[in-house]
Structure 1
Amino acid sequence: MLVTSSTSKFFKRKHSINLNGQLIDLSNPIVMGILNVSSDSFFDGGKYETEDAILRRAEQMIEEGVSIIDIGAVSTRPGSGATSTKEELLRLLPAVAAVRKRFPEIPVSIDTFRSWVALRVVDECGECIVNDISGGDFDEHMFDTVGKMGLPYILMHIRGNPQTMQENPQYDDIIKDISKYFSERVRRLTKAGVKDVILDPGFGFGKTVDHNYDLLNRLDAFKVFQLPVLVGVSRKSMIQKLLDVDAANSLGGTITANTMALLGGADILRVHDVKEAVESVRIFTKLKEVASV
């Protein structure tokens, strides 16, 4: 168990992600910064809709030590409404193009579940990581598309869809159920030619508060896949509900949850607050360094 084990406190990481020849080193954990360009995201919706605002935010995250910028144009909060492919592209393409032009050295991921959107972004803006909340379930062409383009792929676990996922989710054993989900889809991704797969257990996506903390407590179980693990708990309802705070006042809880995720073997922290997450990684890395002496 994460909170009681003294023998598996730190995990060796030998992973890297190959993004069009650019190797993203995961020998120590890294931070992925969230850049939402949708109008209705649960925490920062509507804040980054102009090119100037997008570039200022990207620059701030880079100054704070971000390793990857994750750009999304569709809200996937519980109960969120549908967004058309056309609207997603109208928001996403200019944002990715602006960030890639101004900051070409920073790897970009796109938060989309549509293969056509991934194709258009890569065609017009260059290679990126595909961050798919649906694990390929919302678009049957996603795995083959990512494989043919040679892109890294973030495989997230979800139950249902954003409109239905919080309607009484149930599991026999959340770790076993998610592991089965990962195993089947990793096999399909490998068959499709995807060489870099990152696992995301999907905190908050079809899970109760107790499910989320059970998942966080046993996160180290996913190391059996020998694949990078991404954790996204930033300001989510699992923190808000437990601490009786809103999203704006959930930073302290987020820092704590991120630290627990690092101890559980997270390779990538996906966050709104880059500075604080980078500091958590630096402290964790120092502890790991001292422990190995």
Structure 2
Amino acid sequence: MHASLSSTPSPKHWQTSRFDLDLTRPLVMGIVNITPDSFSDGGRYVQTSQALRHAEQLLLDGADILDVGAESTRPGAEVVPLALELARLEPFLHEALRWQVPLSVDTYKPEVMQACLDWGVDIVNDVWALRQPGAPQVVAAHPRCGVCLMHMHRDPQSMQAQPMTGDVVTAVKAFLQSRVNTLLALGLSPARMVLDPGIGFGKTVAQNFQLLACQSDLLPMGLPLLAGWSRKSALGAVLAQDGHVPKAAHRDVASVAAALMAVERGASVLRVHDVKGTVEALKIWGAMQQQAPQRAWSDPGISPSL
């Protein structure tokens, strides 16, 4: 019988296959989409050579982790056959694994997880939170790999057609705790786990921002949080003017703003497209943090909890 994590202090590192990642500062996870249909940059990096050049640039821009996906999970995305997903991933990973940088694979298929972990990938980032049959057993059989568990309402094909109703924060927290408990029962160490509330995955615009405003409510679970706000449609909805919604690639400033708000509320990992902008913003935030006065808040009109 495993105890709840609610009283466990948040880990200062994330255990992965080859690396123990330091979480004493926010880490930036750069997105590499080897897909023709991702909502933001689909088709730009389908060729292995294109994807590798993009990944190299993300590292030069300051990415701490590369998150590689070969199947889009945007609303309405089509399912990619197993063989095609592996064919897209293998040549990229074969080269990138030589770089000795943390690599995450964005997949929900147990067979893809198995192959990528066997090749040496460090992290499984699963929008289904390891709910597919066999997925928990795959990660349990690789005793060091990191896992990211995300909340998703319904599935990519229907999640925005019928978004969530009710108290989104309570529902997301309960779901993530249930998934954590399942993995604890299989013997996975909490040091391997990071949680993602799943911005944009079956939530309304208001619910997404409620999750941001109340993100610190997830911290008592005792596990690090990943924030994935980059270029999401909720940002576009807020930025829209006269019925015109800015394209995904034009939402980077808003994405960086949301990322910093997520860090202020306790996020340890930021999954982003614009690595350079996010890294620069975090440097400014870090400089401010170093100079912040260490005193109790005395102004009754200011809350210490942002």
Under a length normalisation based on structure 2, what TM-score does the superposition of the two structures give?
A: 0.87
SS in structure 2 at match of 1:149: coil
Is 1:110 equivalent to 2:83 in the alignment? Answer: no
Q: Deviations over 1:119-176 (max 9, x none)?
A: 11122x2132000001122x12111210111211100000110000012323321111
SS in structure 1 at match of 2:194: strand
In 1, Cα distance between the equivalents of 2:291 and 2:187? 39
Alignment of 1:1-293 (within 5 A): 14-101=11-98, 103-104=99-100, 106-123=101-118, 125-137=119-131, 139-150=132-143, 151-195=145-189, 196-244=192-240, 245-291=246-292, 293=294
CA contact (8 A) 1:51 1:95 kept: yes
Q: Deviations over 1:236-275 (max 9, x none)?
A: 1001111121112111111111111111111000000100
CA 1:20–1:117 in 2, change beyond 3 Å: closer, same or farther?
same
State the number of aligned residues.
278
Shift of 1:81: 0.9
In 2, Cα distance between the equivalents of 1:184 and 1:100? 33
SS in structure 1 at match of 2:182: helix
In 2, Cα distance between the equivalents of 1:160 and 1:13? 29
1:193 corresponds to which letter in structure 2? G
CA contact (8 A) 2:18 2:122 kept: no
Under a length normalisation based on structure 1, what TM-score does the superposition of the two structures give?
A: 0.91
Shift of 1:292: 5.9
CA contact (8 A) 2:17 2:146 kept: no
CA contact (8 A) 2:14 2:22 kept: yes
Shift of 1:70: 0.2
In 1, Cα distance between the equivalents of 2:16 and 2:224? 14
CA contact (8 A) 1:73 1:92 kept: yes
In 1, Cα distance between the equivalents of 2:279 and 2:116? 28
2:117 corresponds to which letter in structure 1? V
Which residue does the alignment assign to 1:3? none
Give the structure with higher Rg (CA).
2
In 2, Cα distance between the equivalents of 1:81 and 1:198? 27
Q: Deviations over 1:63-112 (max 9, x none)?
A: 111100000000000011111111111111111112112x12x1000000
In 1, Cα distance between the equivalents of 2:117 and 2:129? 19
CA contact (8 A) 1:78 1:163 kept: yes
Shift of 1:22: 1.9
CA contact (8 A) 1:144 1:193 kept: no
Q: Deviations over 1:180-210 (max 9, x none)?
A: 1011110001112222110000000000101
CA contact (8 A) 1:13 1:28 kept: no
CA contact (8 A) 2:172 2:197 kept: yes
Identical counterparts, % of pairs:
36
CA contact (8 A) 1:13 1:26 kept: no
In 1, Cα distance between the equivalents of 2:138 and 2:11? 27
SS in structure 1 at match of 2:141: helix
Contiguous gaps of at least 5 residues in structure 2: 1-8, 241-245, 295-306
